[in-house]
A and B are shown apart, each in its own frame.
Chain A
Amino acid sequence: MPKDGGIGASSKRREDVRFLTGVGNYTDDINLHGQAHVFFLRSDVAHGTLTSVDTSAAEGMPGVVKVFTGADFEGVGSIPCGWQVTDKHGEPMQEPAHPVLAQGKVRHVGEPIAAVVAETLAQARDAAEAINVDIAELPAVVDMKDALKDGATKVHDDLNNNLCYDWGFVEENKAATDKAFEDAAHVTTLELINNRLVANPMEPRVAVGDYARGTDEHTLYTTSQNPHVIRLLMGAFVLGIPEHKLRVVAPDVGGGFGTKIFHYQEEAFCTFAAKACNRPVKWTSSRSEAFISDAHGRDHVTKIELALDADNNFTALRTETHANMGAYLSTFAPSVPTWLHGTLMAGNYKTPLIYVNVKAVFTNTVPVDAYRGAGRPEATFQLERVVDKAARELGVDPIALRRQNFITEFPYATPVAVEYDTGDYHATMDKLEEMGDFAGFAARRAESEKNGKLRGLGVNCYIEACGIAPSNLVGQLGARAGLYESATVRVNATGGLVVMTGSHSHGQGHETSFAQVVAEMIGIDESMIEIVHGDTSKVPMGMGTYGSRSIAVGGSAMVRATEKIINKAKKIASHLLEASETDIELKDGAFSVAGTDKSVAWGDVTLAAYVPHNYPLEDIEPGLEETAFYDPSNFTYPSGAYACEVEVDPDTGKVSIERFAAADDFGNIINPMIVTGQVHGGLAQGIGQALLENCAYDENGQLLSASYMDYAMPRADDLPMFSVDHSCQTPCTHNPLGVKGCGEAGAIGSPPAVVNAVVDALQSAGKDVTHVDMPLSPDRVWAAMNG
Chain B
Amino acid sequence: MAQVTMTVNGKAASGEVEGRTLLSSFLRDELKLTGTHVGCDTSQCGACVVHVDGVAVKSCTMLAAEADGADVATIEGQANADGSLNVIQQAFQDHHGLQCGFCTPGMVMSAAALLKDNPKPSESDVREYLEGNICRCTGYHNIVKAIMAASGQDVGAIAAE
- The chain A residues found within 8 Å of chain B, CB to CB, are 12-13, 15-24, 26, 28-29, 31, 122, 200-204, 252-255, 257, 286-288, 506-509, 673-674, 676-678, 680-685, 707-709, 713-717, 719, 721-725, 746
Contacts and interface: CB of A to CB of B under 8 A. Distances in A.
21 contacts: A13-B93, A21-B75, A21-B76, A29-B34, A122-B20, A202-B100, A202-B103, A202-B137, A254-B37, A255-B99, A255-B137, A507-B100, A676-B161, A680-B139, A681-B139, A685-B139, A716-B126, A716-B130, A721-B123, A722-B160, A724-B161
Contact of A21 (B78, B102, B142): B78
Contact of A257 (B33, B40, B76, B136): B136
A12 B85 contact: no
A377 to B, nearest CB: 16
Interface stretch (B41-49, B51-59, B62-70): B41-49
A29 B144 CA distance: 28
A254 B101 contact: yes
A681 B105 CA distance: 18
A717 B128 contact: yes
A22 B35 contact: yes
Nearest to B18: A122
Given A20-B108, A22-B74, A722 B136 contact: no
Prevailing SS type, chain B contact patch: loop
Contact of B136 (A677, A709, A713): A713
Interface in B97-141: 98-105, 108, 123-124, 126-128, 130-131, 133-141
A683 B100 contact: no
Contacts of A509: 99
B154 interface: no
Nearest to B39: A202
A537 B130 CA distance: 40
A708 B93 CA distance: 28
B159 interface: yes
Given A22-B36, A23-B76, A707-B42, A716 B102 contact: no
Interface residues of B, number: 60
Complex A-B, nearest 9 residue pairs according to Cβ-Cβ distance, in ascending order: A22-B35, A19-B101, A254-B102, A684-B139, A507-B100, A708-B44, A22-B75, A507-B99, A680-B139
B94 interface: yes
A16 B18 contact: no
B12 interface: no
B93 A20 contact: yes
B26 interface: no
A66 to B, nearest CB: 22
Contacts of B94: 12
Given A15-B101, A201-B102, A707-B40, A722 B141 contact: yes
A122 B35 CA distance: 22
A680 B158 contact: no
B11 interface: no
Nearest to B135: A202
A674 B139 CA distance: 13
Given A714-B139, A746-B139, 14 more contacts: A13-B93, A16-B93, A21-B35, A29-B28, A200-B136, A202-B39, A255-B99, A509-B99, A707-B40, A708-B42, A716-B127, A717-B130, A722-B160, A725-B161
A708 B45 contact: yes
B89 interface: yes
Contacts of B159: 721
Contacts of B28: 28-29
Contacts of A22: 33-36, 74-76, 78, 105
Which of B28, B44, B93, B136 has the largest count of A CB atoms less than 10 A from its CB?
B136
Which of B79, B101, B130, B144 has the largest count of A CB atoms less than 10 A from its CB?
B101
A506 B144 contact: no
